[in-house]
Amino acid sequence: MTILAIDTSCDETSAAVVADTKLHSSVVWSQSKLHASFGGVMPSLAKRKHEERIGAVVAKALGKRYRNLENIDAVAVTVGPGLSIALGVGIDMAKKLAKNNNLPLIPINHIEAHLFSALARPIAGKKVILEYPALGLVASGGTTSLFYIEKTGKVKLLAKTTDDAVGEALDKSARLLGLGYPGGPVLEKFAKLGDPGKYSLPIPLKDDVEKNRFSYSGIKTAFVRLYKQIDSPTKQDVCDLAASFQNTALTHIENVLKYQVIRNKDIVSVIAGGGVVKNAELRKRIRRIAKKHNLRLYFPYTNKLYTDNAAMVGVLACLKYKNINLKRFKDYESVDRNPRLAL
């Protein structure tokens, strides 16, 4: 099954052609530089830029081989969660293409696509088989959630954030330090040069016996307070602050993950995705937990699959619907955006 996938859930305009989890093409046009001066994503600007680019991005993903949607079996599109007006641009394009070519239109949950993004493979790559049951982590700009995965399509939420997502917290703390947007990667760079023990910040839910949620509002407030106490911070102070914040934010994920690994004794593997998992320190810590508990570990095979992309949308469509009669996906009008779609 060959899928044309589209994602416009936030500030990346993206399209991909995926066949049986193999990436035939993957095009991501990031708007992040345009949003940087606002310190975050401006929804109206995101919509306008998606509208300007979507046609070219889809054409590039289709290339000569799939031009006019030849040899494409279905169109898959992210319907949520995400920015409402941004989602609408991708959905409108996907609907138009599916209708005009009489193809099935498959609605996809963006978080679920991140969750299984590690199962994508290059064109000549071997199939990646996830061993079940698995623990799945999605840590991104909008989501911090941990799932118990019985099999593809059968997923139970174990923990989610009750306030900010980890990526959002990293972005906000980087902005406070004057480091720009998106904050996660730049904070990681500065953190490498800093001392994570220099400043102490409260580790969220440290004393909770049951670690079945995430929370980032407390350290965010503590960080603002801490920053205000430092007169004219030097470059080294900024590095130390970045290192302290990142360390605390990641320790929280690590603690919840450790707790849930011990609690869900039957799991045999861990799979992780989302922009924040691109962070080398976080991956090191997840790797350590997997090794200690003898669990198989899955991360996306390329950096491009961590942050938002349409390839993961196509991969999920291949995995979930490979044995299903796609005729049921011809009710185009039922496909609509759902900015708060849960998993």
Please give the residue ranges that form the binding site for ligand KG4 (CB under 6 A): 10, 140-143, 167, 170-171, 182-185, 188, 274-276, 278-279, 307-308
Cα separation, 116 vs 93, in Å, equals 24
CB of 11 to ligand KG4, least distance (A): 8
The Cβ of residue 122 has, within 10 Å, a number of other Cβ atoms equal to 11
Token pair of 97 as six digits: 């293409």
Give least dist CB 148 to ligand KG4, A.
Answer: 21
| Beta carbons within 8 Å of 205's beta carbon, 6+ residues apart | 211, 213, 214, 215, 252, 255, 256
Least separation in angstroms between residue 40's CB and ligand KG4 is: 10
Tokens for 65, please give them: 């081989």
What is the C-alpha to C-alpha distance for residues 277 and 150, in angstroms, rounded to an integer? 22
Min dist. Cβ of residue 269 to ligand KG4 (A)? 21
Residue 247 token pair:
């360390």
Residue 237 Cβ vs ligand KG4, minimum distance, rounded to whole Å: 21
Distance CA 135, CA 142 (A): 19
User: Which of residues 88 and 274 has its CB atom nearest to ligand KG4 in the complex?
Assistant: 274
What DSSP element (H or E) covers 271? strand 269-273
Q: 204 vs 275, which CB is nearer to ligand KG4?
A: 275
Nearer to ligand KG4, 91 or 276 (CB): 276
Q: How far is the CB of 94 from ligand KG4 (least distance, A)?
A: 18
Q: Closer to ligand KG4 by CB, 30 or 264: give it.
A: 30
Instruction: Give the three-class secondary structure for 219.
Output: helix
Least Å distance between CB 173 and ligand KG4? 10
Q: How far apart are CA 140 and CA 277, in angstroms?
A: 8
**Of the two residues 2 and 279, which places its CB atom closer to ligand KG4 in the complex?**
279
Nearer to ligand KG4 by C-beta: 204 or 274? Answer: 274
The answer to whether 295 and 270 are in contact (CB under 8 A) is: yes
Phi first, then psi: give them for residue 284, nearest 5 degrees: -60, -45
Comparing CB distances to ligand KG4, the nearer of 2 and 309 is: 309
Is-contact 13 46, C-beta < 8 A? no
